[in-house]
Amino acid sequence: MKINKVVVIFSYLLFTALSVALLVPAQTGTKNAEIKAANGMVASAHPLASQAGIEVLKAGGNAVDAAVAAAFAVGVAEPNASGIGGEGMMVIYLAKTGTAVAVDYRSSSPASAMFPKGFPSTGPAAVAIPGTVAGLTLALEKYGTMKLGRVLAPSIKIAEEGFAVSSTLATIIRDNYEEILKNRPLAKIFCPEELPLETGDVLKNPDLAESLRKIAAGGRDAFYRGELADKIAAEMKEGGGFMTKDDLGAYRAVERRPVMGSYRGYDIISAPPPVGGIAVVETLQILENFELSKMEPLGPARIHVMAEAMKRGAADWRAFVGDPDFVVVPVAEMLAKAYAKARAAEIDPAKVTEKITAGKPGKEESPSTTSLSVIDKEGNMVALTQTISDFFGAKVVVAGTGIILNNEMKNFSASGVNALAAGKRMRTTVSPTIVIKDGKAFATLGTPGAARILTTMPILISNLIDYGLGIQEAIEMPRFFPSGKELSIEPRLPEGTVAALAKLGYAIKPLGKFDLFFGGAQGIVVEAKTGMRIGGADPRRDGAVVGY
């Protein structure tokens, strides 16, 4: 293993060096270099996933082809956070027609699921019907140009040949060591010989490679109706899970209209219910009522106003957002400018609002994770976020398949708009977002981070628009997360700002300088004058940008 470790580390470093050397760093002063490219670009949570996407672009594929290739690949190379046993949401912008569409491949509840004693977070009963294969194949068939086997080829290779475990992944494996050991197929992958893989060790998943080959040959039905479905259903039955082969066969990915709003002349296109894009757009439209550009970007005034707006957007999301096939979500009312103005008027610039309730957006008529962004030479864009919920999901691998299953059932609520129902999709905070300026591509962005997604996305967009920061600067700027009076921060904030926020009434909770708590954003912007694609990747995760 030591020889393999050296070889893989060398290969990883060589790939990274070449990726950066072939491009042009746009700036200094950031932890990661900002990358420029003239034609196409992929930003994802792992170098191998970004490389998979860029290979497809270079071969003549469009942004959707590349996004699907990268999405499958990141599920192999960042297996703690996503994969074909999970789910997601994709937002697509088509430059030629100026139209946008969302592909909802959120997981859904098995028909027989019941939890009288509460929702479990691990084990087969925690597993919802996976949507990733259905969603990615639907997007490829309708908006891509390549065959499924072509875009799956990089993922199969990564799973078969293996890759070097990063320090981030090694830490996550150690943190989940005891739970991993409880499931023998999971331990076989991440803790061979009952010891956790270390940084630089080679992680292979040949069973997953074979599963991906079956999908490449048979399409979505290979997963939802064929041999893989049989194995998943058998695993569920043996372990006390609810999902059956009938549940798998009945699952469908759904095309939806994205939520749309505007912020200081930019059009914001984000993921629709049952996920978090509506809260991101509402928060931005509340913030539009304040002149943030006149506030210091890391000053207490800006952070306080943003925190108050974020709490209101999140409160409305919790109150009104559920699966739109089961409940009526007042999208238009929540995104009305008059409603944003009313919510903004509630914010006291000199006081913390400890408890915020949902607003009244008119009559109710008419949420661990990975993100990636893609833009092609035609200006088509994709923002995509997918997940298996917690790291390593339900901590269950289907024997003989290499597939890690999600634990999404815990994301239902005991009552209200997000209450459990057969076939219903639980809400989450995922919020892949595209930004358009004057009808042209400006940015594609996304981040993991659970509840922090709803706060990180407005921070990123404000950093770009209000302060004109580069994408890498916008990603690396210190983050914060409000919850009642508590304010979690990265301690790179100025001491004076922290002291002033404490005087306003915040209970300050310092975390790490670049803390994984705040997710791992990826993004691409388009330079208006030159059309150059400029990409940024988050040092809080193993993000990488590749372009050509």
First to last CA, the chain: 34
Rounded to the nearest 10 degrees, what angle do helices 337-345 and 300-320 cross at?
Answer: 120
Q: Is residue 357 packed enough to be buried (19+ CB in 10 Å), middle (13-18) or exposed (0-12)? A: exposed
* Full 3-state SS string of 61-120: CCHHHHHHHHHHHHHHHCCCCCCCCCEEEEEEEECCCCEEEEEEECCECCCCCCCCCCCC
Cβ 124 vs Cβ 231: under 8 Å? no
Query: Could you tell me which of 259, 284, 251, 334 has the C-alpha nearest to residue 91?
Result: 259
Q: Residue 440 is encoded by which pair of tokens?
A: 């042209």
Active-site residue identified among 30, 122, 369, 387: 369
DSSP alpha helices (H): ranges in 264-418? 277-287, 300-320, 331-334, 337-345
- ω into residue 274 within 30 of 0, thus cis? yes
List 536's β-bridge partners, or say none.
523
Encoded amino acid at 292, one letter: L
Q: Sign of the C-alpha dihedral, residues 362, 367, 371, 376?
A: negative
Residues whose CB is less than 8 angstroms from the CB of residue 432 and which lie 6 or more positions away in sequence, other chains included:
89, 90, 91, 270, 271, 277, 371, 373, 383, 384, 385, 444, 445, 446
Q: How far apart are CA 112 and CA 252, in angstroms?
A: 18
Cβ 424 vs Cβ 250: under 8 Å? no
DSSP alpha helices (H): ranges in 346-494? 453-465, 471-476
Whether 369 is a known active-site residue: answer yes
Contacts 24+ apart (CB under 8 A), 507-515: 514/31, 514/476, 514/490, 514/539, 514/540, 515/479, 515/490, 515/540
Which sequence positions are flagged as catalytic?
Answer: 369
